[in-house]
Homo-oligomer: A and B are copies of this chain.
Amino acid sequence: MLQWLKHYRRDQLPGDISAGLVVTMMMIPQGVAYAVVAGLSPVVGLYASILPPIVYALFGSSMTQSVGPMAIVSLMTAAVIGPLAPPGSALAGVLAAQLALVSGAVLLLCGLLRMGFLANFFSRPVMSGFTVGSAIVIAYDQLHTLLGAALPHVHMPSAVLGVGTVLLLVLSRQYLAGLLKRCGLPPAVADIGAKLAPMVVVLGGIVLMATTGLAEMGVRTTGAIPAGLPHLNLATSSQHWRALLQPGLLIGFIVFLMSMSGAQALALKRNEKLVSNHELIGLGAANVASALSGGFPVTGSLSRSAVNFAAGANTPLASLITAGLLACALLAPTGWLALLPMPVLAATIIVAVLGMLELGILRTAWEYDRGDALAWGATCLGVLVMGVEAGVMVGVALSMGTLIWRASRPHIAVLGRIAGTEHFRNIERYPAETQPELLALRIDANLFFGNMDAVTERIECELATHQSARDLLLVMSAVNSIDTTALLALAELNQSLKRRGVGLHLAEVKGPVMDRLRNSTLLQQLNGKLFLSTANAFDQLHIAKDVA
């Protein structure tokens, strides 16, 4: 925390200032647009862009992450508060802030409990399917705003303005950077300049509305935006807290996953180390700050963070500068923002989310692993057909299923001795010698509830094919832990083998595992012996049989 401030070097300042300026120019149209996606008053998007990045700068671990409103999280917010309050209403604003508070509290709690490992929850295909599905939903939801009327109707002036803006933005995304370069701008500056196209069209739209008769022709605008800084706004609707609890949990989860996946991509380029537990704290604090300043759930945005990085951000000071500039913008007269035409705003949203329609991962998965491609499709379809919340649940179910499926397939090898040596190997892969009275199995997995059924099943199966075995030796060299469920199952196996007159022996039990087992009933009642090495076990069990 604030390590970067202690070691701040003066030569980092120019980069931070330029990045702060550039991101402010991106943040204004994005904040307003994503507040609209969330079904909130546009100004809420600006509120959510001031305090959260400041707080993240204090607690987060990424140097270039730009925390604020983000399309998918806004879509999830809309899905939660939509049924509870009319869009744009004061109640909707309060509920959105409450939702941010719940999400923030969940994230903080997870951070304090050091649950950063949850960042590994979604596979990339699931994450990508979820993103693409959400992008399509967001774009589709904006269609009627873009066209000024619900399909199949079209309000011509709005539609011309909206579709024209979409074309302009798409063309500028394709060609503007090249054009600026040919005009003599340095490549880096040209690339960043092209990212400011949304701000330019927003300003252009405002000028159009102010100077032409579009308003009289029925083109809708955002309407008056209250000036001044946000204020605390949580004290109502106590009956809604309960309804927000589960969605808040889901949104917190997605806030974390979205932010981590973006931040990791950037951290790799910077060779910077991201600490997932710090990220949980940083994002949690940012969401609580958003709630306390009348905002809504926020997260790190890959698109903004990438621009922040490209524009030269060296430290979170860039984000602090952005926050300061946005606060100034709210303190200045905001009357001009009232003229922003909705079709232009819809166009910026649509073009922004079209950029999220990245099918590269689907293509890779399709070629490499059809199962992963299926997971991509199921998650995307889940979002499209059942909505964004159900889509998350589909992703969770797929992840859980994959985890338990993988856990339930432990690797177990039948061991034999490489003739004349002290080495023991998998008999399927090496010409190793076995003894008919002794079945030796090496278990290549930690034993726990997720694989213990599979392990006992495999043991029974091997015993059935080795009918002559009077001793079962489990080689535990690769077992780093045994949980309570596995302990109980091993104790049952021991009893069952005892009844059948088969000895159960353990070899190469690791130190930490042994420390735990020492006082357990399993070892006290073990129907066999403990051996330090597999070779010892083979020799001694063999001799025992010879004598017998």
Contacts and interface: CB of A to CB of B under 8 A. Distances in A.
Given A118-B404, A122-B449, A124-B484, 12 more contacts: A117-B405, A120-B453, A123-B483, A268-B496, A364-B521, A365-B484, A369-B487, A399-B449, A402-B449, A403-B450, A406-B407, A444-B444
Contacts of A117: 404-405, 408
A13 interface: no
A484 B369 contact: yes
Contact of A368 (B118, B399, B487): B487
A367 interface: yes
Contact of A121 (B271, B273, B404): B404
A492 B401 contact: no
Given A115-B401, A450-B403, A492-B268, A487 B120 contact: no
Assembly of this chain: how many copies?
2
13 contacts: A118-B404, A120-B451, A120-B453, A123-B483, A123-B484, A124-B449, A264-B453, A268-B496, A361-B488, A367-B519, A396-B400, A399-B400, A402-B448
Interface in A227-267: 264
A535 to B, nearest CB: 15
Interface in A457-488: 460, 478, 480, 483-485, 487-488
Interface in A365-408: 365, 367-369, 372-373, 396, 399-408
Given A369-B484, A487-B368, A120 B361 contact: no
Contacts of A448: 123, 402, 406
A125 interface: yes
Given A123-B485, A368-B520, A408-B120, A403 B400 contact: yes
Contacts of A519: 367
A411 interface: yes
A211 to B, nearest CB: 49
Interface of A: 115, 117-125, 264, 268, 271, 273, 361, 364-365, 367-369, 372-373, 396, 399-408, 411, 444, 446, 448-454, 460, 478, 480, 483-485, 487-488, 492, 496, 516, 519-521
Contacts of A118: 401, 404
A121 B407 CA distance: 10
Contacts of A264: 453
Those 8 A-B pairs whose CB atoms lie nearest each other, nearest first: A123-B449, A372-B484, A117-B408, A124-B485, A403-B403, A365-B484, A123-B485, A369-B484
